[in-house]
Amino acid sequence: MIVETNIDELKKRENSLKIIKGIIHSRGRNQLHDLTGLSGGFLLKKEDLNLLETYVGPALFEDQLQLIGKKHLGGEKILGVNRTSSGILATIMALVRPDSYVIHYLPQLPSHPSIPRSTKLIGANYLEFDNLKDFYIPDNTSLIVITGSTMDHQVITIEEFKEIIKITKSRKNHDPIDKYSQTYDEIPVMVDDASGARLRTIIFNQPSAIELGADLVVTSTDKLMDGPRGGLMAGKKYLINKIKSKAHQFGLEAQPPMVAGMVRGLENFNPENLLKSLEKKQKLLECLNKNFNGFELTPTGIMITPEALNSEIENRGIKILLSDNDISFTWAMILLREYGLVTIPSVGMPGASATLRFDLAASDAKNLKLSNLVEIINSSFESLLNVVDNPEKCQDIIFN
Ligand SMILES: *Cc1c(COP(=O)(O)O)cnc(C)c1O
């Protein structure tokens, strides 16, 4: 395998950032097309800049975040954290006892690595389920996590969501972390709605996580909206207070510039724009189907999984010496290097999905003609076919 460890993933990411820098310097930002769907928007106003101080900023922006955050997610109290992963870590540190269980339900594996990793870090046990048939809650459980929409944009059904909440609420928390809290005998439910807070609600017309009975929800202000890469949490006040205290102790909370960016991103958020940008995806799929079998629609664009990509290449009679993920990484690096097209497999954090997703809700997607995108995908695939039987060359493309 070419990309095997977290360190390999880091090296790949650093190489991608170097390539991006090169493109910006030689060809300009507009020759770069970020279709990750993670825009890192920072829509600050001029007057905001003077207020980004350590203690002045929070006094203003945190208050605004309470108001606009509740409007977006519901809940009694809001907490801004550095990333969605930080919110998940802070929650697990605050609410989970060592040796107890964290139970995770998601519509389809794999889960986001921050959930099992945080659980392991504090010495608790982790079980994950992607179907109701197998789902159960061991006696010694301190936290239930539901993923509303996965990294690959698989969305939970509302029936599954309600069933997990129902099962959880029928159970008791036998050894709660805080016996003096008002609902000490309940097992809290946290929803990882990183993209789901917008995807589930706007595109799938589902109620918010809080409306469905969750105690806590975390979303990424970077996904399907123009905010910075940060995490926005909401939920029951006494739970948020515990999590906030942990977040402060370990430096996981969002800093004033991020909080300001989240506020402006939420102010700017318009569901109409999201719906409009999706009209193109069916057309894109039709164009690609002339050449491929493996592309599928996602709620916000199209994707091809590493396994489907492998079949595309095998079907063309080419012998494959790479792992499925490595093929996907190689294609992503060709897309970046030759066409300035940014996707998650090239720039993602270690553990991010290797699925190649082209997100049409991304703001750069508006400036890229559909015919150009089809042309880019077709010709970069030809480049991939030329190197895929040569692992050394692929390794070079990924790391150098
Ligand atoms: C993106 C995502 C995360 C993590 O977001 P970060 O900003 O990388 O911390 C967690 N869970 C799911 C389901 C995601 O899609």
| Among candidate residues 117, 275, 280, 106, the one with its CA nearest the CA of residue 201 | 275
Distance 40 CA to ligand 1 centre (A): 13
Would the CB of 194 count as within 6 Å of ligand 1?
yes
User: Same domain for 33 and 51?
Assistant: no
- Give yes or no for a contact between 196 and 154, defined as CB atoms under 8 angstroms apart: no
Would the CB of 85 count as within 6 Å of ligand 1?
yes
The conformational region for residue 153 under phi > 0 = left, psi -120 to 50 = alpha, else beta, is left
Distance 242 CA to ligand 1 centre (A): 22
Would the CB of 106 count as within 6 Å of ligand 1?
no
Q: What's residue 345's pLDDT?
A: 96
Which of 268, 284, 312 is the last residue in one of the domains? 268
Residue 316: CATH number of its domain: 3.90.1150.70
Closest ligand 1 atom to residue 87 Cα is 9
Tens of pLDDT along 240-258? 999 999 999 999 999 999 9
Q: What's residue 43's pLDDT?
A: 84
- Give yes or no for a contact between 237 and 183, defined as CB atoms under 8 angstroms apart: no
Residue 203: CATH number of its domain: 3.40.640.10
- Give yes or no for a contact between 294 and 197, defined as CB atoms under 8 angstroms apart: no
Residue 1 included in any domain: no
Would the CB of 220 count as within 6 Å of ligand 1?
yes
Would the CB of 200 count as within 6 Å of ligand 1?
no
| Among candidate residues 235, 207, 206, the one with its CA nearest the CA of residue 79 | 235
**Cα separations (Å) of 340 from 31, 32, 36, 306, 371?**
6, 5, 12, 21, 16
Closest ligand 1 atom to residue 88 Cα is 10
- pTM for this prediction: 0.81
Q: Which residues of the chain have pLDDT under 70?
A: 39, 174-184
User: Same domain for 214 and 111?
Assistant: yes
User: Same domain for 224 and 76?
Assistant: yes
Distance CA(185)–CA(178), nearest Å, equals 9
Which of 243, 268, 293 is the last residue in one of the domains? 268
Q: What's residue 199's pLDDT?
A: 93
**Cα separations (Å) of 211 from 117, 168, 200, 203, 214?**
28, 16, 13, 17, 7
- Give yes or no for a contact between 362 and 343, defined as CB atoms under 8 angstroms apart: no
Distance 316 CA to ligand 1 centre (A): 35
Distance 83 CA to ligand 1 centre (A): 8
Residue 195 included in any domain: yes
Distance 219 CA to ligand 1 centre (A): 8
Which of 268, 300, 329 is the last residue in one of the domains? 268
Residue 326 included in any domain: yes
Residue 116 included in any domain: yes
Would the CB of 118 count as within 6 Å of ligand 1?
no
Distance 33 CA to ligand 1 centre (A): 21
Distance 90 CA to ligand 1 centre (A): 14
How many CB atoms are closer than 10 A to CB 290? 8
Distance CA(235)–CA(76), nearest Å, equals 6
To test the pocket of ligand 1, the residue of 82, 114, 193, 217 to mutate (highest count of ligand atoms within 8 Å of its CB) is 114
Residue 198 included in any domain: yes
Would the CB of 229 count as within 6 Å of ligand 1?
yes
Distance 244 CA to ligand 1 centre (A): 19
Which residues fall within 8 angstroms of residue 201, CB to CB, at 6 or more apart? 207, 208
- Give yes or no for a contact between 268 and 280, defined as CB atoms under 8 angstroms apart: no
Q: What's residue 200's pLDDT?
A: 96
Structural domain of 186: 46-268
Distance 52 CA to ligand 1 centre (A): 26
Q: What's residue 97's pLDDT?
A: 92
Ligand 1: residue whose CA is nearest its atom 6: 84
Closest ligand 1 atom to residue 85 Cα is 9
Residue 173 included in any domain: yes
Would the CB of 82 count as within 6 Å of ligand 1?
no
User: Same domain for 196 and 294?
Assistant: no
User: Same domain for 331 and 218?
Assistant: no
User: Same domain for 356 and 369?
Assistant: yes
| Among candidate residues 195, 212, 251, 200, the one with its CA nearest the CA of residue 81 | 251
Ligand 1: residue whose CA is nearest its atom 2: 194
Distance 85 CA to ligand 1 centre (A): 6
Which residues fall within 8 angstroms of residue 246, CB to CB, at 6 or more apart? 90, 93, 94, 252
User: Same domain for 217 and 105?
Assistant: yes
| Among candidate residues 292, 288, 286, the one with its CA nearest the CA of residue 311 | 292
Residue 374 included in any domain: yes
Alpha helix segments (H runs only) across 170-305: 196-198, 237-250, 256-268, 271-276, 281-289
User: Same domain for 85 and 207?
Assistant: yes
Total count of domains within the chain: 2
Distance 223 CA to ligand 1 centre (A): 9
User: Same domain for 69 and 131?
Assistant: yes
As given in the structure block, the two tokens for residue 361 are 């809700």
Which residues fall within 8 angstroms of residue 266, CB to CB, at 6 or more apart? 65, 68, 69, 71, 72, 221, 225, 227, 232
Would the CB of 104 count as within 6 Å of ligand 1?
no
Residue 300 included in any domain: yes
User: Same domain for 170 and 228?
Assistant: yes
Would the CB of 112 count as within 6 Å of ligand 1?
yes
User: Same domain for 249 and 276?
Assistant: no
pLDDT averaged over the chain? 93
| Among candidate residues 41, 56, 40, 87, the one with its CA nearest the CA of residue 219 | 87
How many residues comprise the chain? 400
User: Same domain for 237 and 289?
Assistant: no
